[in-house]
């Protein structure tokens, strides 16, 4: 009796299923939550009116590390919202990074040596400053801006959710 090697049999089954429409050659990946925060990977990124290169460019973002919120997904495209809450349009996933950044909200805020208002004030951060988010616990986030590594209340940042834990 002749037997097919296992890999031939799997290929045969996949070809059969392909005709039915149930087989995918794409690797299985973890589904990330929507909405979620990401950052801009590039110095320049086109934002389109729809999820594909055939759609016209609506905006061009020119601020690397800008925090953005993904509010929808379609294939390799992400619909994003900016720190002002404006829905900008669609960006290709290759222009985004999972490295978390955040922007200081509308007024100047102190950053502290420890996650406590009683701790030593390290610096004041101006509105619009982009920080790297190192970690968040309860209502505080440890952020880095150039050589400053300190804690700020998360309510003063756009780019983290209220109560979000980041390790």
Instruction: Specify whether the CB–CB gap between 125 and 109 falls below 8 A.
Output: yes
With residue 137 as reference, give the H or E element that holds it.
Answer: strand 130-137
DSSP at 27: P
C-alpha 93: how far from chain center: 9
Q: What's residue 6's pLDDT?
A: 40
* Alpha helices (runs of H) in the chain, residue ranges in sequence order: 6-20
Mean pLDDT, range 100-109, rounded to an integer: 96
Mean pLDDT of the chain: 87
Tell me the pLDDT tens digit for each residue of 120-131.
Answer: 999 999 999 999
Domains of the chain listed by start with CATH number: 36-99 (2.30.30.40), 102-158 (2.30.30.40)
Tell me the pLDDT tens digit for each residue of 32-61.
Answer: 999 999 999 999 999 999 999 999 999 999
Q: Is the model's pLDDT at 111 over the cut of 60?
A: yes
């Amino acid at each position: 009796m002749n037997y097919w090697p296992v890999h031939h049999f799997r290929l045969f089954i996949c070809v059969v299923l392909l005709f039915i429409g149930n087989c995918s050659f794409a690797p299985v990946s973890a589904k990330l939550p929507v909405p979620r925060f990401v950052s801009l990977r590039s110095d320049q990124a086109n934002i389109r009116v729809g999820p594909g290169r055939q759609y016209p460019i609506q905006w061009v973002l020119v601020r690397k590390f800008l925090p953005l919120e993904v509010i929808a997904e379609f294939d390799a495209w992400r619909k994003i919202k900016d720190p002002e809450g404006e829905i900008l349009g669609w960006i290709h996933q290759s222009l985004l990074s999972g490295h978390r950044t955040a922007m200081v909200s509308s007024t100047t805020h102190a950053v502290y040596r420890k996650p406590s208002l009683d701790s030593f004030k390290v610096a004041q951060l101006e509105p619009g400053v982009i920080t790297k988010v190192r970690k968040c616990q309860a209502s505080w986030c440890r952020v880095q801006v150039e050589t400053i590594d300190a804690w700020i209340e998360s309510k003063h940042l756009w780019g983290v959710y209220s109560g979000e834990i980041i390790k």
